[in-house]
Structures are given as structure tokens and as C-alpha cells.
Structure 1
């Protein structure tokens, strides 16, 4: 929508958005709360009661904090919600599985918009800018995983690149900050503590991974035989590989660079991690089509990982810097163990 029309639509919906209550909702002095979030000062004057979450990770964090009753809607989904969160998620209306319109978000009368991606709520946001929401009295919160150590590169690099490696402390920060915004800090602390304990257990379980173990992580492709969107070094897959003692064959700071199968085959990774997702934007979103292509394409079928079926299937949500990255760490650790790659040399032949 052109900026002029967007402003007009925003003005017409102004009365739908409630003014934030200046007084604190309780007497413990928690509000007003001011946070420096992704370079923007945000002020929260009362605990949100009608939050709209844009992005699956943001939604799952809020649900994990037990805040379903304070969520007016969610949007932008890539896969299924974990079973443990399904009942609470069913209570939250879904605006859209993809990017919702500005008017539909405002129609929920939000008192907070929390977004996973700057591409959705940011300077060139597909929904609107933070300033547009602020002009209507709606504070916005962006995930630190998307703005700390990350830059977007325009039309040729829409997924962005990282200037520093992702690590789980950014997810922990998001959990704690959202818990502060909703005035449930003890829930945030407990969730972070449980994630840290699970991560330590997964790393311990993968002890003995061969130091030269190489991997490639295939998220998806516009065309099966075309360039593959595979993980760069500094995103969530890079963090998982580093924690498990493996290395990435793809040397790139881009989040998901497009790489030819000829190049991937020449580098011959030991293990291929395959993204599984509920969406179907491209044929390669289907895990069965991924595997069928790898096993029958004349280039990919010659890779040792394909010949020996060294595949690990992982929910694509765990491949992004999210709460589910930890789940990815656990699944990959178990997968390497099941393939006989922890504490052992790589087998010369498939069992």
C-alpha cells in the first residue's frame, strides 16, 4: 500500500485503537516501564491486555510465558505449534498464517504489537513502520534476534546477513524483556533457566563428535533443481553446529544464501539437515520432495551423505533464531547419535 493510503487507513482506524492507560495497573511501581528495544525507546504504561504477535517465535514465547489470555491475535506462521502449547494457541485468534494487513492488525485494538522480524514491522515493514504504530498510541517490540548483529541487504538479500554470530542469549533476552513488559518476570526467569539446563544436557549427550564432521542445512528452494537456500555460518544452525562440535561447509555471513547443488556436492558434506515445514510456498517445502530430489538427481545422489542416508529432519522453525533453536540442538544431537557419529569415526559404508 502506498504511504499516503497507509496513513489514510491508519487515521480512519485511529478510534479503534485504545489509548494506553497512563496509570500503573498495580501499586508495585513496575510501570511505567521504558525499554531500549532495537534502537527505539518504548514505554509501557500498563500490562498489555490485547497484544498482537507477528511471527511464530514471538507467539510461542508469549504462550510459553502463560500469556494466551492477554493476546488478541497472532500472525506469520511457518509450521505447527508444539503440542505443549497447542491448547493455549487455540484460544488465540490467527489473523493470517502469512503477513497480515495493517488494518487487520489495528482492527484487533492492540495495546502492544510484538514482532519477530523487522521486515514486518520496521523502516520498510511489510505491515507498517514502528512510527506508524506509535502515532496511534501502540507500542511495538521487536525481537533482539532480528536486530542485534544483523543487517538487511535489500531486494537481493531479503533474509539479511549477520555481523556477529547468533547465540541463545538473544532469545533469553527476548524472554526476559517480554516477561518484564507483561510484569511476569518470575515466569521469564524460570523459562530461561529450563532452556539453559536442556542445552547443557544436549551438548553433553553429543560428546565425541568427530572434529572434522561437516554439515549443510537445507531450508528450501524456489525450484528443486535450482539454487538451495542453505544456512550461513552465523545464524541458528551455525550456533547449533558450534555447540555440537561440527562445522558448516558454507562460508557465508548471509542468513540463508542461495547456493548451487554443484557447489554443495563438490564440498560433499557428511550430514544434511533438512527443514520440514507446514507451509507450501515452494515444492522444496515438502520434506518428501526434498529427499526424493536428493536421491535421484544425478549431482546430489553422488554425495556421501545421500548414499549413506545421513539425513536429519528438523522443523524449519528450529532453523531460525528462535525459542525452538534449542529443540533443534536436541534433535540434531540425537540424530548424530542415531547415525553413529558421536564418539565414533564416520563410517566408510552405510550400515
Structure 2
């Protein structure tokens, strides 16, 4: 996971038996290898719920840390042309794959847009729905399809993708993405090893989770009039659950969502998880919660039970498991 040297992509298997084996292995994740792979040079993999035929990308563009981390974790640096990293993201120098970021181009420090992708002569773009890809900004998979540019969306973000929604738990979405990307780039074996490693780390955390009733946890993203938080369809929900806690808004079948302070107060969280990003430091968010009449009497605030989750540990990517391990250690420390 934290290896800084990126192995060279494995040679693509051409035997029909290998293609069939890959199809059987990846079928559960929505990845199916075409029967004519040897002649067409394409594989069919789901983009959210939509089967799409992909050729092997050579100039991939990643939006945000989660997308780039997925590609780098699979050893695909040579096929990554560059990345787009908006200001909310922490510095790439903090990534376990900092040396890989240094080998590719930073294309923009703004939001993803069609012009950047076209100018980069990208043949593949990885982003989330309603974060990187968005109708209002004029960059969607459909628009890129018409330009002959392939695209891939984080499965975690497919919850409300128009026409082809897909819903799985956030950690399963991460594993699905890695396997699907492994198929698209013809590095299936490597993807299997990465996923197996992540699964083992998650299970190790689950085995050490505190016994008894799970501690109620409130994730605070932002907002003063109304708080922005995590529903059941984003990685922090699985991070909290696997560590032995309970997201107080796990009953909301949504991704990132707005609630009200009354609901937070009723939930009586014992721990508050702060999502750290952008130009508002985590400490300022904590200071607000300590002073606000809505939150200053919460059990978590009174006990000073705050945990800071890095942005790239909270959005879909391999660093979710880093965040899980850190939060699990914190949660266990509360019982010491």
C-alpha cells in the first residue's frame, strides 16, 4: 500500500482462458471481459450501472486524490498523464504515493472541466458523479463519450447517477473500483492483490473493535446554520462501523447531506469526527462546536472527544483504510 516505487504494468494476457478467468473473477464487481478481447482490443466494464467498452488508456486524467490514489495503488503511473486537484484537497506531498504524483503533471488546481481534459489530450478520465462530473459544469460521461474520451466513475458516487444508478456499501465500492480499473488497464492480478490487502486490514480492525454497544459518532463536515454530514452511502459510514462505532445518521440513505442541529442534539454523539479540508482548519470547526449553543452540551464536546479525519481518508480511495485504522485506534483509546 505505501510502496513509493511503482511497478511497471504487467503484460496483458492474450489467451482466451485468461480472459474467461478474469471474467469469472470480476463478474461480481460488474466487470466482464468481452469474448472478442483478443481481436477488438476492448473490455466491457460497468461505469456505474452502464456497461461500457474500454480500450486500454494511455493518457489518464484523475480528479482529486481518491481517483489518483486508486490508479497509483495499481501501479499505473506510466498511464497517468496528470491530475486535477482543487484547493479543498490537502497537499499531494502528504499522500503515500507522493513520489508518483511527482512523476505526472498537475493540470489544474480548480474544479474539473472539459477544457482541461481536452487540452491534456486525455483518453480516460476518473472522477465521481456530482463532484468531478456534473451537468452544470458541462462535463459528464455522456459529453466525453461524444468527444471520444473514455471515463470512469467512482462506484460510491453512482448512488444517484441518472439512468444507471448503482448502490453498494462504500468499502465494497472501493474494492469494486480497484477491480474494474484493474480490468480496464489489464492489471487484474495486481488489483486482486491490492483489494485482498485492504480487506485483510479491515478485518483486522473489525476483530479488535470494542465490545458492547457501539459509540454514537457524528461526522461534522461543515455548516453553521445547518450541519453537513455523512449519510450511509459515503466512506466515513463504513469507517465508523468497522471501527466499532455507529454513525448517528446511518439511517439516511444518502451520501453527503444536510441535517439540522436538533437531530444532532437528539442523537447525543459520544464522538465527533471532523472532516478536515479546505480553508477552514479542523481546529476552527472544533472551536465552533465548543461555543455553539446547539452543540456545546453534547457528550462528545463535553468530553473533548474529537477525531480529525483527513479529506482523502473520507472520500473514496485506498486511504479510507488508513483513516479506518487511525479512527479505530482512537476509539479503542477511549475505553482505556
Work out whether residues 55 and 117 of structure 1, in 8 Å CA contact, stay in contact via their aligned partners in 2.
no
45, 59, 72: which one aligns with 2:68: 59
Query: What is residue 11 of structure 1 aligned with on the other side?
Result: none
Q: TM-score of the superposition, structure 1-length normalised? A: 0.76
Query: What is residue 21 of structure 2 aligned with on the other side?
Result: none
Q: Deviations over 1:212-267 (max 9, x none)?
A: 5211011122xxx3211112234322222332332232342232222333432343
Query: What is residue 152 of structure 2 aligned with on the other side?
Result: 141
- 2-side partners of 1:334 and 1:270: how far apart? 16
- SS of the equivalent of 1:302 reads coil
- SS of the equivalent of 2:308 reads strand
52, 55, 71: which one aligns with 1:42: 52
Change (3 A) 1:172 1:267: closer
- 1-side partners of 2:168 and 2:176: how far apart? 15
Q: Does 1:268 align with 2:236?
A: no
- 2-side partners of 1:310 and 1:121: how far apart? 36
In the alignment, structure 2 segments of 5+ residues that lack a partner are 1-10, 16-36
Map 1:92-171 onto structure 2 (within 5 A): 92-121=104-133, 124=135, 126-147=137-158, 150-151=159-160, 166-171=169-174
Query: What is residue 219 of structure 1 aligned with on the other side?
Result: 221
- SS of the equivalent of 2:52 reads strand
**Displacement after TM superposition at 1:128 (Å):** 1.7
Q: TM-score of the superposition, structure 2-length normalised? A: 0.79
Change (3 A) 1:198 1:79: same
Query: What is residue 283 of structure 2 aligned with on the other side?
Result: 288
Q: RMSD of the TM alignment (CA)?
A: 2.6
Change (3 A) 1:184 1:25: closer
- 2-side partners of 1:25 and 1:103: how far apart? 32
Work out whether residues 129 and 161 of structure 2, in 8 Å CA contact, stay in contact via their aligned partners in 1.
no
321, 326, 335: which one aligns with 1:326: 321
Q: Deviations over 1:260-312 (max 9, x none)?
A: 334323432111111112x22xxxx3111011112223332221211111111
Change (3 A) 1:230 1:100: closer
- 2-side partners of 1:188 and 1:267: how far apart? 39
In the alignment, structure 1 segments of 5+ residues that lack a partner are 1-23, 154-161, 342-351
